[in-house]
Chains A and B, each alone.
Chain A
Amino acid sequence: MKIRALLILGALLALGTACKPPEVKPSDYTKFRAENPKSILIVPVVNRTVDVTAPDYFLSTVSRPVAERGFYVYPVYLVKRILEDDGLADANLVHQADPKRLGALFGADTILYVTIDRWDAKYAVLATTVEVEFRYSLKSGKTGEEIWNSKEYFQYTPNNNSGGNPLAALVAAAVSAAITKAAPNYVPLAQMANAAAVNRLHRGLPAGPYHTQFLKDQGDF
């Protein structure tokens, strides 16, 4: 009974500290504050990995956390199709294009460029580790200058907790490895990385105009 209570207490403490982000070097927000953007145009992402499906999957996960920070986020699917119609089907071309031109074309204050540096699965006998790594760069649509950037790396290994039975643990691990091998699901990991990128204290995006903390979070960003 006593041991169980201690265990529960320990778990509670661990959960409590889980909310705390790790210490990182704070970003310089001078340019961001000077620009004070209201809107963010998220353009198709550049893919530096061998997985050709990564960019479209990634794009489905990025609007939500950015909009929840209080910015107007342009409709990503519509934007992608408009760019294709304008001869910018290749994300590399979009990233090389003048941000001022994109800003004017869409009426956007800023443009968010994301590069996928890692999107892969490491196969092992008992568990497969899935990992993602993204680089984010926010540029002004007026000056073309970068006003914010960030980087996120996340990895996930399926956790097989079968209550101390070694045989059961082995079977569970084999099953989950097979599932991951057939179709590794990167989406939850991408969602976590994006949420971290924009919300992390002293590294993320300061609150935008639709957020209650707009212009009140100088202590945090």
Chain B
Amino acid sequence: MRKPTRLLLLAVPALLWTACKPPEMYHWGKYEDSLYKIAKDPTAMDRYGENLIVQINAAEGLNKVPPGIYAEYGYFLLARKRGEEAVVFFRKEKERWPESAVLMDRMIASAAPKPAEAPKPAPAPAPEVKP
């Protein structure tokens, strides 16, 4: 048997096999793998964060950012006390996925609890106490 024919015979079953699996909507990168690793080893946390941002950058380029990924990265930043950066990603999640609004508003509030930058709204007048 000549070589090209043999290769073709190998390629056909491979094609059929992948035909069973529909193409995915999102770019998952190393998300599953690194979730699995932090479960096993908490010191894998740095790598988890790195993998998330790599995934986000690649997925944005493809316009295939999966649900939850901006929020997971935001939470990683929040745990590292990088609240301001975390808010950016919580906002991205909320903007891309309106279903996340309730949770993201809560995360944004917990990431930026200090109202230092913005001037406080005038306090409501104290209710009059009748003697």
Contact = CB atoms under 8 A, between A and B. Distances in A.
Interface in B23-39: 24-26, 28, 31-33, 35-36, 38-39
A24 interface: no
Q: How would you classify the secondary structure of chain A's contact residues: helix, strand, loop or mixed? A: helix
A77 B103 CA distance: 13
B13 A11 contact: yes
B20 A12 contact: no
Contacts of B124: none
Given A15-B17, A106-B102, A107-B102, A60 B67 contact: no
Interface stretch (A27-35, A62-70, A88-96, A167-175): A62-70
B99 interface: yes
Contacts of B72: 75, 77-78
B7 interface: no
Contacts, number: 99
Contacts of A107: 99-103
B28 A64 contact: yes
B39 A57 contact: yes
Contact of B68 (A18, A53, A63): A63
B9 interface: yes
Contact of B39 (A56, A71, A75): A56
Interface in A64-108: 64, 67-68, 70-78, 81-82, 105-108
Given A15-B17, A39-B99, A74-B103, A60 B9 contact: no
For this complex, into which size category does the number of interface residues on chain B fall?
Answer: 35 or more
Given A106-B103, A107-B99, A107-B103, A53 B66 contact: no
Nearest to B26: A67
B71 A78 contact: yes
Nearest to B102: A107
Contacts of A129: none
B35 to A, nearest CB: 4
Per DSSP, are chain B's interface residues mostly helix, strand or loop, or mixed? helix
Given A18-B20, A60-B36, A61-B32, A72 B12 contact: no
Given A107-B100, A107-B102, A75 B36 contact: no
A212 B108 CA distance: 32
Interface string A45-64: 00000000100110111011
Interface string B5-20: 0000100110011011
A126 interface: no
A72 B36 contact: no
B99 A38 contact: yes
Nearest to B9: A8
Interface of A: 8, 11-12, 15-16, 18-19, 38-39, 53, 56-57, 59-61, 63-64, 67-68, 70-78, 81-82, 105-109, 187, 191, 210-211
Interface of B: 9, 12-13, 16-17, 19-20, 24-26, 28, 31-33, 35-36, 38-40, 66-69, 71-72, 74-75, 93, 97, 99-103, 107
6 contacts: A38-B99, A72-B100, A74-B100, A75-B72, A78-B71, A107-B103
